[in-house]
Amino acid sequence: MNRQQSDGPAVFSSWRIFSHPQDRHCVAFHVACLAAYCCAFWMYQHPKLVGVTGPWSRIAFVAASATMLGWISGINVGVNFHNHSHRPIFTSQFANRWFGRIWAFSAGWPSFFWEYCHVTIHHARLLAVDDWTLPRQNADGSFEDFRRYLFMHWPWRLMKHLWLDLTARRNLRRRSLRELVIFLALWSIPFWIDWKMAVWLWALPHWIANVWVMGSGMYAQHAGCVSKSDARPLSHSNVFVSKFFNLTMFNIGFHLEHHEHPRVHWSLLPELHERLKQELIDGGAHVVPYGNHRAAWLLAGNDARKKQFAEQAVGYTSNR
Amino acid sequence: MSRLPGTFLSRAGLAFGRSFWPLLAIVVIAGAILWGPWVSLAITVLAVTAALRLL
């Protein structure tokens, strides 16, 4: 793929801070997320200013803020930091390491742990029995119940698997411990300011981010899929082609393309999708016209809703 | 020359679009100063419902 064609004018070719000029949008997203947290914290400390006059209005403020913060944190780490874990966004290794740490902590993760789960486990073992990042599989190969995966996976199953994996080898153990200490130092900051505020506007959003946003995303991206084989090389991931979804979600909808070519920059995935379109159609890839959110809604429902998810997007049906 | 405003608009649209969700979150949270916590909660419920049905 010609990078110059898709990245804009040649003026960016001398860019030195970012590995790719489009990566500035990743930083903007993360800074906006941190600003949203700061805004919510400040307003929690000034209740009269926001019309909080009693317990019910406080519940309304916390419910609105925690939901929005959880939603954006789920995207910020599950999609935005995810891109960084495949292709670090800065040219400096030091900046990559430290920005990663102050990135993943905003959804309750040490950056190294998240990278380990995603790259070392999920990408390397996609849909195999030892890919413990995905829902467990029933005897017929289908995923376990949507709700069961959401509520059992984070943090319970993850903690168990991470403990077993990261304590198994000495070098991993040492690095994990260092990263965990750095994470705890950063993650505890809101608790030092006001522990009640931290529970409602820091820990609760992180639970929403991991369980509802990242959990449902992982489920939808691979629901109904089978591990890669010669017979079914393009049935390991689903493709979500909603333009608005992909615009606002760093093109994560092109998930099959991402798993096939994880080193391709996120901004180039729509172009890659167009190039591979016929191959996807011929290979029987499952393509839907919406994004992860609606897919999760359908997969959490009854058989009729699940059947809707199984339908193929118009224009992606093979004539063979 | 005529390409310049178009390029600027498309870049600005891309930048805004990619940060749409955190910007919406800031509007909902900070907007409580103007319209109070109940309206912010109503906007949140509407946004989540719309996303689950449409996106």
Q: What is the ipTM of this complex?
A: 0.92
Q: Which of residues 14-53 of B touch A (CB under 8 A)?
A: 14-15, 17-26, 28-30, 32-33, 36-38, 40-41, 43-44, 47-48, 51-53
Nearest to residue B32, comparing CAs of B50, B20, B44?
Answer: B44
Say yes or no to pLDDT of B6 above 80.
Answer: no
**Is pLDDT above 70 for A13?**
no
Compare all CA atoms of chain B with the CA of A241 and give the residue at the minimum distance: B55
Residue A184 three-state SS: helix
pLDDT attached to residue B2 = 55
Element (H, E) at B26: helix B20-30
Task: Output DSSP code: residue A240.
Answer: E
For residues A175-183, average pLDDT: 97
CA A237/CA A223 separation, integer angstroms: 8
Please report, rounded to a whole number, the percentage of residues in chain B having pLDDT higher than 70: 93
- The pLDDT value recorded for residue A8 is 44
> Nearest-CA neighbor of A293 among A80, A74, A19?
A74
- pLDDT-based confidence at B14, cuts 50/70/90? very high
Q: Do A29 and B40 touch (CB under 8 A)?
A: no
> Do A202 and A37 touch, CB atoms closer than 8 A?
yes
In the three-class reduction of DSSP (H, G, I as helix; E, B as strand; rest coil), residue A24 is classed as: helix
Q: What is the per-residue DSSP string for A226-239?
A: ----SS-TT-SS-E
In this predicted structure, the answer to whether residue A1 has a pLDDT above a threshold of 50 is no
How many CA atoms are closer than 13 Å to the CA of A60, on its beta-carbon side?
19
Residue A275 to residue A185: CA distance in whole angstroms: 46
The beta-carbon neighbor of B37 closest among A64, A76, A297 is A64
* Cβ <8 Å between A43 and B38: no
pLDDT classification of A2: cutoffs 50, 70, 90? very low
How high does pLDDT run on average in chain A?
A: 94
The Cα A36–Cα B28 span in angstroms is: 10
Name the nearest CA neighbour of A262 among A2, A254, A110, A224: A254
Q: Which amino acid is at A89?
A: I
Contacts of B36 in chain A (CB under 8 A): 50-51, 57
Confidence at residue A16, expressed as pLDDT on a 0 to 100 scale: 85
B contacts of A73 (beta carbons < 8 Å): none
Pure H helices in A225-291: 243-248, 255-260, 269-282
- For position A320, what pLDDT does the model report? 58
User: Looking at residues B12-18, what average pLDDT do you find?
Assistant: 93
User: Distance, in angstroms, between A180 CA and closest chain B CA?
Assistant: 27
